[in-house]
Amino acid sequence: MVEFSTDRRTLIRGLGALGVGSMLASPASGQLQPPETTPNTRATYRAVVDSVVPRTPELESELGPEHVPGGLSVGLDEYLVTFINNLFSFGVRGAGDVGNLRLAEAVALVLDVGAAKLVAAGENDEPPSADRVVELLEPTDLLELDRLTDDPESVLEKSLFAALSREDRLRAIAGLDSIEFDTAEFPGPLTEVDAALVGQLVVGFTEVVYYSEWQGYADITAPPSERTFAPDVDSWDQTKFPGIIDGAAALRGYWGAPNSSLGGGGTWDTAVTGGGPPKKLYADPGSFEDSDDYDTSDYEEPFSTDGTPAADGPLGDVVSSLNGDVTDSDVADGDLTDVDNVTDGGVTDPVDTTVDGILSGLLGVGN
């Protein structure tokens, strides 16, 4: 079995090993020399795409042949690396703009940590397999791996996330929503654990990019005035999205009723006749009644307004991720006993100001 640790120092050392920290540690140099995307990272993003928008031969008989291709067949994995590496601007006061925050390796590493956590808890349905990693890689990746190391097998074994089955990878991502690192040393809001951000990056963004127009660009990173676009998009065939339109003859009229200020002009259609006066579709919008005589005297609060933080239910993870005792109450009662941000007016205590500190703060893992 692959060795792993969810210890955050190990994670930060891992970041360092990937060159992320050292790259960011010298922002003033101005010219970044980004590390090349490694075969491990490529395997991880291919594994993400393979799980989120897979190739689905099983949908051919059910929905049609256009539903078979997935993200890997259009190179979505490569773009995801580019997308994540360019998602956030990175500037340093005094040094100015430094470029973008290269996050692909760090995100991939967090996914491997999530995979390790899943396997350690025995929550994976199928055992990890290096064969899955090999299957995800292109022959050129394997050649590169062979060039980079004398021991390619041990390198492949580091890609634990990619070694999981499709559904186990999703379980590993879900586990990141509640992943807990030791945050006791950290004051203030930076202690929030939001490795969950990684889940949103790799699931939410994979989905929005795949189902958007992305595939239609020759190069979406080109300057906007030089970008070329052709509406040839696999996912549009799958959603039956008709493409970018300048308009649609879709007007059914304006909703209203005979005794209402809404709807005017001729009647185009009667839409609903049950319950109350018939609702009709009119040629003109009509207007909203605008009276000074609005009456709020019978207003009631259907639910509690005391401000008690929600502790369980679907938001439990969000709540438990907050560090410290949240004892604040509703604004209305003017209780000023809030834990950490009252006395200093919202400026929390300084934390680690090193670049690793910033990066790990972004990922919510501390350093």
Partner 1 sequence: MVKDSYDVVIVGAGGDGPVAAWKLGAAGLDVLVLEAGPFYGNEQWPNPSEGPGSELSDSVADLSGDLLDEQFTTRELEMAQKLLFGPADHERGLWFRKFPGSGAALQASGVGGTTLIYTGNHPRAYPAAIDEQDHWPDAFSYDDLLPYYRELEDVLGVSPAPVTAKEEMFFRGAEAAGYDLIDEANVTETGYRPQPNAIASPDEKLRHDNDYEGNFRHPDDPDAVDPVEGHTLAAAEIAGNPHPRGAPYEEKAKKTSAIGFVPRALDTGNVSIRPNAFVTDILTDDSIGGDPEATGVEFRDTWNGGTETIAADTVVLAAGAIETPRLWLNSSLPRNEWVGKGMTLHFGDNVMGFFEESVLEDTVGKPTIDPQEGQNIAARFDYPGVGMLQTTGSGPGIAAILGFGASASGFTFSNDLSDAPWDTQGRLAGTELKRLLARYRQALPILVVTDDRPHKRNGITVTPGVEDEHGPIPQINYVPSEGDVKRRDELAEIATDILREAGADHVHRSDSPPTALHIHSTMAMGKVVDTGCEAYDVDRLFVADHSALANGLGGPNPTNTGQALAARTADTIVERYF
Asked whether position 59 contacts partner 1 by CB under 8 A, the answer is yes
Structure tokens at 177: 């929503």
CB of residue 290 vs partner 1: minimum separation in angstroms? 4
Judge whether 18 and 105 are in contact, CB under 8 Å.
Answer: yes
Q: Return the residue of 35, 188, 267, 356 that touches partner 1, per CB under 8 A.
A: 188
* Nearest in space to 115 (alpha carbons), one of 166, 177, 160: 160
Q: How far is the CB of 72 from partner 1 (least distance, A)?
A: 13
Is residue 168 within 8 A of residue 124, CB to CB? The reply is yes
DSSP string, 145-169: HHHH-S-HHHHHTT-HHHHS-HHHH
Nearer Cβ to partner 1 (144/192): 192
Does residue 30 bind partner 1 (CB under 8 A)? Answer: no
Q: Nearer Cβ to partner 1, position 139 or 242? A: 242
Closest-CA residue to 97 (of 18, 36, 31): 31
Interaction of residue 82 with partner 1, rule CB under 8 A: no
Q: What's the chain's Rg over C-alpha atoms?
A: 27
User: Is residue 362 a contact residue for partner 1 (CB under 8 A)?
Assistant: yes
When binding is defined by CB under 8 A, the residue of 28, 121, 143, 342 that contacts partner 1 is: 342
290 binds partner 1 (CB under 8 A): yes
Say how many residues make up the chain.
367
286 binds partner 1 (CB under 8 A): yes
What mask, x for binding partner 1 by CB under 8 A, covers residues 105 to 144? ----------------------------------------
The binder of partner 1 chosen from 122, 139, 228, 276 (CB under 8 A): 276
Question: Residues binding partner 1: what is the number (CB under 8 A)?
Answer: 154
Min CB(11)–partner 1 separation in Å: 18
Closest-CA residue to 14 (of 148, 119, 116, 163): 116
φ, ψ of residue 285 to 5 degrees: the values are -70, -25
Tokens of 218: 């020759």
The yes or no reply on residue 223 touching partner 1 (CB under 8 A) is yes
| CA distances to 54, 258, 270, 288 from 279, in Å | 45, 8, 6, 16
CA–CA gap between residue 269 and residue 267 (Å, rounded): 6
72 binds partner 1, rule: CB under 8 A: no
CB of 151 to partner 1, least distance (A): 33
Q: How far apart are CA 321 and CA 314, in angstroms?
A: 13
- Does the protein bind partner 1 through residue 365 (CB under 8 A)? no
Q: Residue 147 Cβ, how far from partner 1 at the closest point, in Å? A: 31
Which range touches partner 1 (CB under 8 A), out of 15-23, 108-116, 139-147, 191-199? 191-199
